[in-house]
Structure formats: C-alpha cells, structure tokens
Structure 1
Amino acid sequence: MWLAGATVIDGTGADPVPGQAVLLENGRIAAVGGSPPAGADVVDLSGMVLTPGLIDAHVHLGLSSDLDRMSTTRQLSVAELAADMFDNCRQTLESGFTTVRDTGGVDQGIAHVVETGKVPGPRVIHCGPILAQTGGHGYLGADWDSAEDWAARQIPGLLATSLLSDGPDQVRHNAREAFRRGATFLKMCVTGGVVSRHDKLSDTQFTHDEIAAAVSEATARGTYVTVHAHNNEGLRTAIEAGAKCVEHGTAVDEEMAALLAERGVALVPTLSVVYALKEDSTAAGLPAHIGDRVGNAIEGQTAAIHHARAAGVLIGSGSDYVGPKQQHRGLELVLRSEIETPMQALVSATRDNARVLRIDGEVGTIEPGKIADLTVFGADPLADPPVFDQPDQVKVVLQRGRIVKDVR
C-alpha cells in the first residue's frame, strides 16, 4: 500500500514533511519517501496529515458503563457491560487511538477478542485487576459490601476491577493471579484517589514491603509496576520499593521530579478525567460530590509536567476516563498542547507513550520496520490543536497496515 500526498508528522518531534509518501508491506512500514513500486495500492491522502497511531497510556475499558449501576447497585447484566466495553473499544479506535494501556478493569478476554478481530478496537495492553488495599482506592463497592462480595463480582474473561491485597504475601499472590489473567505489568494504588468513597487524596496506601513484593513479581517476569499516586509521601515509598511509572503525579514538584529522573521512573499525567469529573461527575455514574474531590489536581498535574520536563523525565499521556462517556480521548492532547506545545503533546501520545509501554521497538513513530498503525487527520492538529479531539476529523485509521476506518 502506498500512502501518498499527506503531510507526515513522524512522532519523533521532527518537523512535518509535506507530500511525504509512505510504503506499507505485510502490515509494517517498508519505506518513507521514494517512488511507489509497481502494482502498489495507492491511497490518496492529499491535503491530510499522517501521524503514528495515537496511544492512550491510561484507560479503563472495563469501566465503560454507569459506575453506580455497575458497581454499587449492580443493575447491569453481563451482556450490557460487555456491549458498553465493545462500543468503547470501537470508539477509541475510530478516534485514532490504535493502542491503549488499560490500567485496571479488564483481563485477557477483552484483549483477545480485539486482537483476533472479533471486536474492532485498539491493541490492548493491560494489568488485569488493580492491586488495592482493603478500604483503598480501586474499590468501588458500597459501604456495606464485604470484601468477599467484592471479589465475587468479578466476571472472568471480561471484568475484574481490583483485587484487595493486604500484606506482602497476599500482594504476591494477587500479582501472580493478575499475570495468570494475562497482565503484562502491574498497577498498585499507593495513595487515595478522586474516584473513591473510603479515602482522601492525602492518604498513603501500601507499605514498602507490600509494594516491593509486587515489584519482585514483576521483575521476575521482566516487567514493571506502575502506581496511582496523588501525594509525594506514597509516591516516594513506591519509588524506594522499585516502582517504575507513576499515574497522575499530582504533587510532583522539583525535588520529586529529580528523583523520578534519577530512578528512571516515567510519569503519565491524566488531565482529561479531572476536567470531566469537575464539570459533571454524575455523567460517569458517580456522586455529585466527587467533583469536589478533584481539588488542585489540574494545577498540580500542570506543574508536575513542567517540573518533570525540566528534569528529563519520560512523560506519557493518558485520559483515564471512566463511565459511559469516553468519546473524547483526544482532549488529553488538546490540554497538553496548552501546557506545552501541540508537537510535544503528539510526541507524548506516540513515541513517548510507546516507550512507557515498552513497545517502542514496534510502534510510536513512522519509521521503516515499525508496525503500520497510523492515524490520518483531515486538518493539521499542530496548527489547530482542537482537531486532536474531533473524531470526525480522523479521516483514516490503519491498524497493522489495514484500513479500519476511511471517511475521506
């Protein structure tokens, strides 16, 4: 396949190249530039902008339904939960996101049906269920539910939000269980969270030994632990125990950014969900007061991005949407464009996210040898960043060299 006529933004931060052609063979990028070989299938992208397929490094496909109806009151059937998840997968792909990292809620079942083509969606890299302490962030049951009742709500092959883990031995057991379910990394919640009913953002969760147990299990499988963290006390404990990525990082200051850089810890800010919850948390099926819990998460993450960038930290990009309205993953790039530049927002959501996910040898940039996961915009998002969040401007999406959306 010969993609011709587009302005190519290759995801490395290099200047866009107008009229750059790209040759695809056997699902991979074979060449950038040159002339089409005889018999090539020519796809005319004149006037459009070609980028690497976007990557969202923080999603919750398993939380695609009204959270109150699915978790607290348990009003939704398995069929409805699955339908919402499948629809979320489709919307994500059609918005130009060809890879996502699911940070809690699904297991290998969803990844498999997408990978085999039974359901349209992005490549799904996941941690299986979150490791959460009793009473900590990641538990969404009602106040009167027991831990046993929460565990019984798992739907093997579809949904498992979190495993309650107390003490190093139970953490180790649940880490192994997450890997058994197809996880390729682990996630722990080491502070309180915004979408919580039983903690505060200032709470710290899990001890050094508990986190170290998970890190040991991840290391044994050649992978890593990422941690949900809104305060630096919990984050520092996690870093000392060996965690290699932090989600949110609301309190990251100059000192913490230096520690992240020293220890090789990546940062994945998640601005979109904060804006969404502050505007109307009930749209996700959450109580209205959840919006009040956002606090300074917007300003904090904005400052964290600047501190981390100055320190040389690898910074990814994640939306963290929960609930039924997850159509605007591109908003994260719009918000990041306002904090840094549109080019840096795009690089974070392509090359740098691929590095965070440890798949940068396969995707994230437009270079020969990479998998041909590509997104084509009808207008230039670098000149007009809101284009990132306009799914109708995503004219073509290619997945492994195959066109899966074409509305030119």
Structure 2
Amino acid sequence: MGRLQVVGAAVADGTGRDPMDVDVTVEDGWITQLGASGDEPGERLDAGGLTMTPGLIDAHVHLGLSSPIQPQFSFQISAAEIAADIFATAGAALDAGFTTVRDTGGIDGGVVTTIAKGKVRGPRVLSCGPVQCQIGGHGYYGADWEPTELWSGHHLPGLCALSMMSGNADELRGNVREAFRRGASFLKLCVTGGVVSAHDRLTDTQFTVEEIAVAVQEAAARGTYVTVHAHNNEGIRNAVEAGARCVEHGTDLDEPTATLMATRGVALVPTFAVVERLLHDPAEAGLGESVRDRVLGVRERMTEALAAAKEAGVRIGLGSDLIGPAQDRRGEELRLRAELETPMEALVAATKTNAEILGLSDQVGVIAPGMQADLVLWNGNPLEDPKLFADPANAVLVVQAGRVVKDLR
C-alpha cells in the first residue's frame, strides 16, 4: 500500500478543534504523522482548497432494507435484486463519505464478509444481524394473516434477515445465540412500538426488564453490548435498568430519563433523516400513506429529546436510519443536526462520538497518528456550509484504511 502524503488541506480532525493547515502522512493504511511531510518517497496528493475530515460513521443503517419495503416482504422482489440493492447502497455510503456503518437490523453475515473481502464496494460494517422483537412487535412485517412461525421464511441466509420473534425469555436467549452464530457483533432489541409498524403504537412497551436482561447477559458473555429501538420513556427506562448500553431514536426522552441514561453511561443515537424522508414521501421507501400519520410530530419531539440529552450530559451519536431505495444522501443527517446544534458538533457526533459508541475509538473517528486512515476531502468547508455534507458530489476524495475508494478530482 505504501506511503501517501495529503498536503494543503484544512484538517478538521474530529475532536472539535478548529481546522488546522497540516499535512497528513499515511503508511500502509495508518496515519503516521501530522505536520510537514518533507520529501520522503511516496504518493503526494495536493488537497489545496479542500477540507479534510475523518471518514464519517453512520451508527444506524439498514443495508438490508434497500429495496421497497412492502414489496420486499411480500415476495415481489427476487433475491438477486435485493442483493443488488444492498450492494448499491453500500457503495453509495462510501460515495457519501461514510467509511464505517453500524447496521441495526436487516442483513445476514454474508453481506458483512462480502464487503470486507473487497468483492463489492462498501464501508466497514458492524452488524446485529436480525433485530430481536417480541411476537407481533415492531420489526414484524408479515401480513396480518401470516402465522408468526412463517416469518423466518422471509430470511435469505447469508443476505438478509430483518427480525426474529420471541415469546418469552427462553426463546429470546435462543434467538440471540442464533444471531451471534450468524455473525452479529452486537445485539439490537425493539423495546417499544415504532413508526414503521403495523401492529403497535409508539406508546407501547415491548419485552420486560427480565427479558431484556437475558440479551444483555448473552452479549456480555461475548464482550459486546445491547442497543435498543425505543421511542417512549418507559421502554427506555426498562432497557437501562436491564443494562442496555445504547438507545436508538429516543423520541420522547424526558429530563429524568436522560439523567438516568447519563448516570448509567447509556448513549443516544437520534435519527432525523428518516423522519424527514417519511414525512416527505412514504411511497419512496415502498411504504403506505398511513406511515405519514404515525411520523407526524416525531421530528419536533425528537428535537426536544436531543436538547434534554445534551443538558443531561448523555453521549449523543448520529444515525440516519434511512430505509428503502433512496439511501444515497446519507450526509443529510449531518445537515439536519447542524441546524439543531453546530456543524462542528454534528461532525464530532458522526466521527469521534460514533466511534466511541461502536467500540472503535482506538481505530477510527479522529485524524491522529496511530489511527486508521479513513479520510474524506470535501469541496469547500462543510463546517461553514453544512449542506455540503448532504451532497455526495462534495465528497471529492474518500480514503478507507489508506486506500483511495473514491476520487472525483
């Protein structure tokens, strides 16, 4: 792989410090030096006028939901087309500047290994495999008449598996062990109803504290953690009490619950981009118009939840939660967060903080010697104009582990 020297860029290193005019030296995939690069041999890349950031991280993606949702789960789309859509979405993530993603439900282990082997373009992927759901809870998309036991027939081994249904703690234990057998590196449970649901409400809680604790125990036995899909405070508190380490969405998070999360060291990953997309056009994701009614008010409440979490000192990451075919503008999440915070806070959430939440803070998330060379060069300065994050065309060069994976120069 050799040496690569990137010279002339304004470097926003992911820590929150103002951009610095420093050269970045990369050797064999790792950053070895910040500062004047001298005349050492190797490729020299002139990045004058561009802004460098760490490779972005999306902590909430659904690669396995890259086809229209309802047609996918009613057997109207072939396995070949589903695979093509998944791998197109993976490549689009790189093109948008995302070099690492955490898949929070929908893919099976074959997708992770196929991308890791370099057979298709895509980011580094951490996956929970199928989501863990209670019978009939959020994550079940079978027809009303379809018996629960037939749901696993929607899985395509090695490609996609959205969710596994559990009726009690023993079944959940068996299902999470099966998820780990398939290659999961963490677990996700749905502990409340969801926006894109047919059989529940956002106010519903799902799984008991004792049931969630079973998944936490099984994750801890493998040195990993549980994150939970949760919109209401009762579900969040159940998950925190059981030992979950992260909460996805957190739409109705209030101040006491945010304080509890901060005290227990539980992180939050808000997801604004999917809300905007579903408000705009549910059909674009292959969903019915009823979804729009369920998402009304979520954006405003999630904004209040973000403020409560910040006030309490909760570690707050960033996730897009995009679903369906239109997942090419993943950086929209940074633009939306920049409107609620600052562009720098959005960048730090998408780099340093997300790396901490994913357990990768010793490898990625900041630009510093000893870290993997995941780098993005932006046309202009997205910290002054965060709309630049939302358009993949502005990510003119993407480097992943020292390899140039996109170059529009």
3-state secondary structure, aligned to 1:318: coil
Deviations 1:110-164 (A, max 9, x none): 1111111001000000001000011100111111111122111111100000000
Deviations 1:53-102 (A, max 9, x none): 0000000000000111101x311110000000010000011110000000
Identity in percent? 55
Q: Does 1:8 align with 2:11?
A: yes
**2:277 is matched with which residue?**
276
- Checking the alignment, whether the CA contact within 8 Å between 1:27 and 1:372 is kept in structure 2 is yes
**1:241 is matched with which residue?**
242
3-state secondary structure, aligned to 2:377: strand
In 2, Cα distance between equivalents of 1:319 and 1:36? 40
In 1, Cα distance between equivalents of 2:239 and 2:310? 21
In 2, Cα distance between equivalents of 1:54 and 1:136? 32
In 1, Cα distance between equivalents of 2:154 and 2:336? 35
**2:251 is matched with which residue?**
250
**1:399 is matched with which residue?**
400
**1:94 is matched with which residue?**
95
**1:230 is matched with which residue?**
231
Structure 1 residue 208: Cα displacement: 1.1
Q: Does 1:116 align with 2:87?
A: no
In 2, Cα distance between equivalents of 1:34 and 1:140? 55
3-state secondary structure, aligned to 1:345: helix
In 2, Cα distance between equivalents of 1:21 and 1:253? 44
Structure 1 residue 209: Cα displacement: 1.2
- Checking the alignment, whether the CA contact within 8 Å between 2:279 and 2:296 is kept in structure 1 is no
Q: How does 1:126-137 map to 2 (within 5 A)?
A: 126-137=127-138
3-state secondary structure, aligned to 2:99: strand
- Checking the alignment, whether the CA contact within 8 Å between 1:260 and 1:266 is kept in structure 2 is yes
- Checking the alignment, whether the CA contact within 8 Å between 1:50 and 1:376 is kept in structure 2 is yes
**1:32 is matched with which residue?**
34
In 2, Cα distance between equivalents of 1:335 and 1:395? 21
1:46 alignment partner, one of 30, 48, 56: 48
In 2, Cα distance between equivalents of 1:392 and 1:238? 40
3-state secondary structure, aligned to 1:317: coil
3-state secondary structure, aligned to 2:58: strand
3-state secondary structure, aligned to 2:262: helix
Structure 1 residue 328: Cα displacement: 1.2
TM-score where L is the length of structure 2: 0.98
Q: Which moved more, 1:3-12 or 1:308-317?
A: 308-317
Structure 1 residue 165: Cα displacement: 1.1
**1:332 is matched with which residue?**
333
3-state secondary structure, aligned to 2:406: strand
Q: Does 1:76 align with 2:80?
A: no
Structure 1 residue 278: Cα displacement: 0.8
Q: Does 1:158 align with 2:186?
A: no
Deviations 1:217-238 (A, max 9, x none): 0011111100000100111111
Q: Does 1:289 align with 2:290?
A: yes
In 1, Cα distance between equivalents of 2:46 and 2:108? 39
**2:107 is matched with which residue?**
106
**2:59 is matched with which residue?**
57
In 2, Cα distance between equivalents of 1:296 and 1:179? 36
**2:303 is matched with which residue?**
302
Structure 1 residue 40: Cα displacement: 2.0
3-state secondary structure, aligned to 1:377: strand
In 2, Cα distance between equivalents of 1:44 and 1:166? 58
In 1, Cα distance between equivalents of 2:296 and 2:359? 32
Q: Does 1:362 align with 2:363?
A: yes
**Cα-Cα RMSD:** 0.8
In 2, Cα distance between equivalents of 1:37 and 1:169? 63
Letter in 2 for 1:10: D
3-state secondary structure, aligned to 1:292: helix
In 2, Cα distance between equivalents of 1:355 and 1:386? 25
Structure 1 residue 35: Cα displacement: 2.4
Q: Which moved more, 1:147-156 or 1:197-206?
A: 147-156
Q: Which runs of 5 or more residues in structure 1 are unaligned?
A: none
- Checking the alignment, whether the CA contact within 8 Å between 1:23 and 1:36 is kept in structure 2 is no
Structure 1 residue 401: Cα displacement: 0.4
In 2, Cα distance between equivalents of 1:16 and 1:35? 18
Structure 1 residue 41: Cα displacement: 0.8
Structure 1 residue 295: Cα displacement: 3.0
In 2, Cα distance between equivalents of 1:322 and 1:170? 28
3-state secondary structure, aligned to 1:29: strand
**2:213 is matched with which residue?**
212
- The number of residue pairs the alignment matches comes to 406
Structure 1 residue 37: Cα displacement: 4.3
Letter in 2 for 1:238: A
Structure 1 residue 291: Cα displacement: 0.8
